[in-house]
Structure 1
Amino acid sequence: MKIVEANFLTSAQSIIDSPSPDKAEVAFLGRSNVGKSSLLNTLTNRKGLAKSSSTPGKTQLINYFDIKFKTQNEELPYMYARFVDLPGFGYAKVSKSLKKEWNKNLTGYLEQRPSLQIFVHLIDARHPTLDIDKNVDEFLESIKRGDQIIIHAFTKIDKLKQNDLQKLKREYPKGIFISNLKKRGVDQLQSAITGYLFGN
């Protein structure tokens, strides 16, 4: 199964102005500058699909993308889902009141969106034990429904020495290890997503 089409649908400030939850959703979240936009573009094979900002933390909207998958089933040749690009957390230089509102809207989406099936938590492979990522993990575990899973995807592995990468893999045996640059781990991530959503 592979992605054959990916299109930007809309941006929303919160769950209130989000599109109808009529497709299974995969939310991508991580610290600002973790490589989220680059991964989405590599995953969908669409160069400018997700816009990366030169200013970390600038994206403050929830961005929805319609994704079409080609199956090997002649009776059901295509399957559909949505990828959701969430605002990066961490570095944002925004006013306290805006940040508070932003966090509230983000939390509302994560806790209340009925179509949300998968959390893809992106973690910089060079800094895997930051408190901010631990806090996000604890939060996701506390709100996760029985029909949801968390995937840990470690980005920028091309910047690690081989020894450090092997150590990371031992510490996180269920992790997916990604290099956008060398396109490593991307197929594995897509398989984990489609396997959970569509059971194949």
Structure 2
Amino acid sequence: MNLIDATFLQSAQSIVDSPAPNIAEVAFLGRSNVGKSSLLNSLTNKKGLAKSSSTPGKTQLINYFDIKFKTNSEEMPYLFARFVDLPGFGYAKVAKSLKAAWNKNLTGYLQDRPNLQIFVHLIDSRHPELEIDKNVDEFLKDIKRGDQIIVNAFTKTDKLNSSELNKLKRDYPNGIFISNLKKRGIIDLQNKITGHLFGN
């Protein structure tokens, strides 16, 4: 199964002004500057699909993208899903009132979106043990429904040497190890997503 098309659908501040929950969604979340936009662009093979901000934490909206997959089945040649680019967390230069509203909207989406199937939690491979990422993992495990999965995707693995990468793989045997630069792990992540959404 191949991802053959991705188009921007809309931005929203919360689930209230989000598109109708009529198709399975995959949420991408991570600290600001973890490489989320680069990963989405690599995954969809569209260079400018997800825009990265020069100021970490500046993107405050939930961005929705319609995704089309090509299958090997004549009966059902195409399957569809939606990728959701969530605002980065761990930002500093944001007013407290905005940060509170932002967190509330983000939490509301993660907890209450009925068609959300996969949480892709992006973690910087150079800093896998940060408290903020541990807290996010605990939160996701706490709210996760039986039909949902959490995928830990470790970004920027090209910045590790081989022994560091091997240790990371030992410590996180279920992780997916990404390098946008070397196109490493992109197919693994796509297969994980399609496997859960559509079966193998």
Question: Is the structural similarity TM-score above 0.5?
Answer: yes
Partner of 1:37: 37
Name the TM-score, length of structure 1 as normaliser. Answer: 0.99
* Match in the other structure for 1:18: 18
1:171 aligned residue? 171
Q: Give 3-state SS (helix, strand or coil) of 2:127's partner.
A: coil
Q: What is the CA–CA distance in structure 1 between the aligned matches of 2:115 and 2:133, rounded to whole Å?
A: 24
The residue matched to 1:16 in structure 2 has which SS? helix
Secondary structure class of the residue paired with 2:137: helix
Q: How far apart, in 2, do the equivalents of 1:126 and 1:77 lie?
A: 40
Partner of residue 86, structure 2: 86
SS of 1:54's equivalent?
coil
Q: Give ranges in structure 2 of 5+ residues lacking alignment.
A: none
Deviation of the 1:118 alpha carbon:
0.1
Name the residue aligned to 2:138: 138
Give SS of 1:154's match: strand
Aligned residues: 200
Structure 1: which amino acid aligns with 2:27? A
SS in 2 for 1:88: coil
Amino acid at match of 2:97: S
Aligned to 2:152: 152
After TM superposition, give the deviation of residue 92 of structure 1 in Å: 4.0
Gaps of 5+ in 1: none
Secondary structure at 1:33's aligned position in 2? coil
Taking only the aligned residue pairs, the percentage that are identical comes to: 78
Q: Which residue of 1 aligns with 2:50?
A: 50
- CA distance 1:92–1:83, shift in 2 (3 Å): farther
Distance (whole Å) between structure 2 residues aligned to residue 192 and residue 107 of structure 1: 24
Q: Distance in 2 between matches of 1:136 and 1:37?
A: 19
Runs of 4+ in 1 over 4 A off after TM superposition: none
TM-score norm. by structure 2 comes to 0.99
Instruction: Name the residue aligned to 2:63.
Output: 63
The corresponding residue for 1:120 is: 120
